[in-house]
Amino acid sequence: MSKVTIIGGGIIGLFTAYYLVESGFEVTVLDQGDLTQGCSVGNAGMIVPSHFVPLASPGMIGKGVKWMLSAKSPFYIHPRLDRRLVEWCLLFYRSATKKHVDRSIPYLKNLSLLSKSLYLDFARQHPEAGIGLEEKGLLMLYKTAATEHEEVEMAALSNANGIAADVLSRSEVRALEPDADLDVRGAVHFTGDAHLDPARLHGFLQRHLQARGVRLVGQAEVLRFANSGSTITHVVTNQGDFACDQLVVCAGAWSGKVARLLGLKLPMLSGKGYSFMQENQPAIRTPAILTEQKVAVTPFGAQVRFGGTMEITDTDHSINAKRVQGIFEAIPRYYAGFQPTAPAPESVWSGLRPCSPDGLPYIGPTAKWRNVLFGTGHSMMGISLAPATGRLLAEQLREHKLSLVIDAFSPDRYA
């Protein structure tokens, strides 16, 4: 049986292990922490076929510059003289074109739709998992005419691409949320989106994989590799060496660093975000994005999670209290009936979204090494896109015809 070693036990690594073990591979997952310290547990848990436009898009540069001027805004780049940061920003700038967006849409859309259908299969096959998968869609709530204009345009583009989007008036959206006293101008409802509890999903996958014989090795930091010609033979960690026939790098925001250990160039920075929980009282029923503030809202029964902020950084988890305050202050501006309690600093979660400069993930093989694949760079959509990524990587290793064309996701595109 072919031995596959996966670096990274976040959601991408675990879903890759899930499809590989189903295909008969012997799988080991190595993680530098306890597998939960990456980005995959405290996020908003949204499954978003509606997010088919890459982050690198024409409107983002202007918005980003404006947001940089406010301490509580949802976007920030820590200015510093760092070669990798400068290079990443230049590549982002070059990708923020209509041509790039038009080319990327079918790739992202197909990946998302495959992932959503795999989640529905997964929930049917594992009712015991209790991942809380619900198909209530996603509300893009807005307060201003300018945002309404943008969102209505987005809804039209979405419908033209076969992703259903309904434009709702103030009274229609208030009827969907009868308890929370919504103070908004209106909303776009992406009815095909869904959500789940990411911590339960990650916990179930760990238990399921262990029961299927997958080795999950925590506190094993990958330090370097041993090779024979163009084949990686061993992964060297602080817990010793692990032999491998195939290697899959799913190291999230750290993947650029792991790529450098392999002599590869994979531009990657972190998009740090924060989240905290509140009592869901009065009840918020439908997942939403508070569009002007870029705050994600996900109800999990008696609790609701608020999350947001994209701080472009390296791999630093520190928490910026002002930006957490920005998320907190946004809540009652939209949900007038909701009186949030200031989150205690220790209850705030921070996660590092693995961000490529063109807003597309890296999925697939690399020319330099015969037996190395990447599954990373999913930015704000790692939960959403994890099953499809895992399935495609397993298809690559089985040398099966791929379910989708994925050349736009090549890890070699910046080589």
Ligand X SMILES: Cc1cc2nc3c(=O)[nH]c(=O)nc-3n(C[C@H](O)[C@H](O)[C@H](O)COP(=O)(O)OP(=O)(O)OC[C@H]3O[C@@H](n4cnc5c(N)ncnc54)[C@H](O)[C@@H]3O)c2cc1C
* Site residues (vs ligand X, CB under 6 A): 7-13, 30-33, 35, 37-40, 43-46, 221-222, 250-254, 258, 273-275, 296, 307, 351, 353-354, 376, 378-384
DSSP string over 155-217: HHHHHHTT--EEEEEHHHHHHHSSSS-B--SEEEEETT-EE--HHHHHHHHHHHHHHTT-EEE
Beta carbon of residue 82, minimum distance to ligand X (angstroms, whole number): 19
Output 170 or 224, the one with its CB closest to ligand X: 224
Output 9 or 54, the one with its CB closest to ligand X: 9
Beta carbon of residue 199, minimum distance to ligand X (angstroms, whole number): 11
Please list the residues that pair with 373 across neighbouring strands. Answer: 248, 365
Beta carbon of residue 348, minimum distance to ligand X (angstroms, whole number): 10
Q: Of 395, 302, 310, 320, give the one whose Cα is nearest residue 355.
A: 310
Output 62 or 388, the one with its CB closest to ligand X: 388
Output 42 or 186, the one with its CB closest to ligand X: 42
Beta carbon of residue 80, minimum distance to ligand X (angstroms, whole number): 21
| CA angle at 112 for the pair 148 and 326, rounded to the nearest 5° | 45
Output 185 or 227, the one with its CB closest to ligand X: 227
Rounded to whole angstroms, how far apart are CA atoms 20 and 212? Answer: 11
Output 132 or 307, the one with its CB closest to ligand X: 307
Give 178's contacts (C-beta < 8 A, 6+ positions apart).
none
Beta carbon of residue 166, minimum distance to ligand X (angstroms, whole number): 20
Beta carbon of residue 170, minimum distance to ligand X (angstroms, whole number): 25
Beta strands in 89-169 (DSSP E): 138-142, 165-169
Cis amide prior to 54 (ω within 30 degrees): no
Output 174 or 234, the one with its CB closest to ligand X: 234
Beta carbon of residue 169, minimum distance to ligand X (angstroms, whole number): 26
What DSSP designation does 314 have? S
Q: Of 201, 192, 178, 174, give the one whose Cα is nearest residue 136.
A: 192
Rounded to whole angstroms, how far apart are CA atoms 218 and 18? Answer: 17
